[in-house]
Amino acid sequence: MDVTKVGVLGAGLMGHGIAQVSAQSGLDVVLREVDQETLDKGVGKIEKQLGRAVEKGKLEQADADGVLGRIQGTTDCGDLADCDLVIEAITEDLDLKVEMWKELDGIVKDGAVLATNTSSLAVIDQAAATKRPEAFIGLHFFNPVQMMPLLEVIRTVTTGDEAYKTGLEFGAKLGKTVVEAKDKTGFIVNRLLVPYMLDAIRAFENGTGSIEEIDIAMKGGAAHPMGPFTLLDFVGLDTTKSIADIMFDEYRETRFAAPPTLRKMVAAGYFGKKSGRGFYDYSGEKPVAVDPGV
Ligand code: CAA
């Protein structure tokens, strides 16, 4: 299927990025949120990033206007009816996702491909909730979607060749580096990245190094763009814990178990950058590492 119109469900951290890169690749986009205020926030983020690119001379104003013009914001699921590909990027909650797919199944045209951007749930559990599991794939983007080159395209047991090919071609159209991953919880990247971040917390817990030292070490010694604690705060401690819990449930391997420090910080509401405090405090001009003291 030649995708020319993409539906994106959810205009949050991932959804707004997916909508932006799709529109930047010349595709028409329908971006759906549950209410106008949340939708405006998501579209506002896209406007801000396009504005910055224009300021930096990386994009012409006319091209930025073109990108925005290709994004139709909506709160009505009915507007997704004639999309060729619909990607969900809503809250990482299986019940919510299944409920939403059941509604959309009766709305989106036959022949369209349905995709989930889940970072940790098995794709099959959403595919099986629709009447067209052969048309269902996983498309796992990385944060920030605008900057991260990778797209994992996931084939689950029910996925047909045509839907899978559509996913691979869509990734190529966006200019992403596409890797094929099996429908195994965490796919490739989170299967490796999440235990690494959890291990950084364990290294801190057992006194191997301080938060800053571990971050400096992994930046300078392994050429990572961010140290593990900066990355934990960036991804969100709540998100990381939720992914870890799902992976632990699935595999029962201790490397996926959330360390006590993570569990307590999430319980305290220290979610990372988005809440103003995680392993760093973001209230000042520069982030300052804070000992979680747990
Ligand atoms: N959204 C969009 N663009 C952003 C951004 C954001 N949140 N943050 C930075 N950028 C852009 C900037 O606008 C800038 O763009 P230009 O080069 O076009 O001007 C560019 O990124 C570089 O920005 P900075 O110089 O300010 O910062 P940087 O060089 O440190 O890069 C970064 C920022 C790209 C985020 C980099 O630090 C990085 O790659 N970090 C690692 C991110 C990572 O590992 N992501 C994966 C998370 S795991 C995941 O997503 C999977 C999951 O399921 C949980």
The residue whose C-alpha atom lies closest to atom 35 belonging to ligand 1 is 144
Matching residue, tokens 């690494």? 196
CA 145 – CA 141 distance, rounded (Å): 6
Work out which ligand 1 atom sits closest to the CA atom of 142.
50
CA 261 – CA 189 distance, rounded (Å): 23
- Helix, strand counts (H, E) of the chain: 11, 10
Q: Could you confirm whether 152 is annotated as catalytic?
A: yes
The residue whose C-alpha atom lies closest to atom 14 belonging to ligand 1 is 147
205-227 average pLDDT score: 97
Q: Could you confirm whether 119 is annotated as catalytic?
A: yes
Residue 293 has pLDDT above 90, yes or no: no
Top mutation candidate among 120, 147, 198, 230 for ligand 1, by most atoms within 8 Å of CB: 147
Are the folds of 5-182 and 193-283 the same?
no
The residue whose C-alpha atom lies closest to atom 1 belonging to ligand 1 is 144
- Structure-block tokens of residue 103: 């509604």
Matching residue, tokens 């036959």? 110
75-82 average pLDDT score: 98
110-115 average pLDDT score: 97
Instruction: Give the pLDDT score at 64.
Output: 97
Question: In the chain, where are the structural domains located?
Answer: 5-182, 193-283
167-185 average pLDDT score: 97
Q: What angle do CA 128, 130, 132 make, to 5 degrees?
A: 95
Instruction: Give the pLDDT score at 123.
Output: 98
The architecture (CATH level 2) of 5-182 comes to 3-Layer(aba) Sandwich (3.40)
Q: Catalytic one among 22, 119, 120, 242?
A: 119
Percentage with pLDDT > 70 across the chain: 100
Instruction: Give the pLDDT score at 138.
Output: 98
Instruction: Give the pLDDT score at 294.
Output: 73
Q: Catalytic one among 16, 92, 117, 140?
A: 140
Ligand 1 center to residue 144 CA distance, Å? Answer: 5
Q: What average pLDDT is seen over the chain?
A: 97
6-21 average pLDDT score: 97
The residue whose C-alpha atom lies closest to atom 39 belonging to ligand 1 is 225
pLDDT-based confidence at residue 82 (cuts at 50, 70, 90): very high
Q: Where are the alpha helices (DSSP H) in the chain?
A: 13-24, 36-55, 61-69, 94-105, 124-127, 161-173, 189-205, 211-222, 228-235, 237-251, 260-267
Ligand 1 environment, Cβ below 6 A: 49, 52, 56, 58, 119, 142-144, 146-148, 190, 193, 225-226, 231, 235
Work out which ligand 1 atom sits closest to the CA atom of 52.
13
* Right CATH for 193-283 from 2.40.30.10, 2.60.40.10, 3.40.50.980, 1.10.1040.10: 1.10.1040.10
Instruction: Give the pLDDT score at 1.
Output: 82
Q: Could you confirm whether 140 is annotated as catalytic?
A: yes
Would the pTM count as exceeding 0.75? Answer: yes
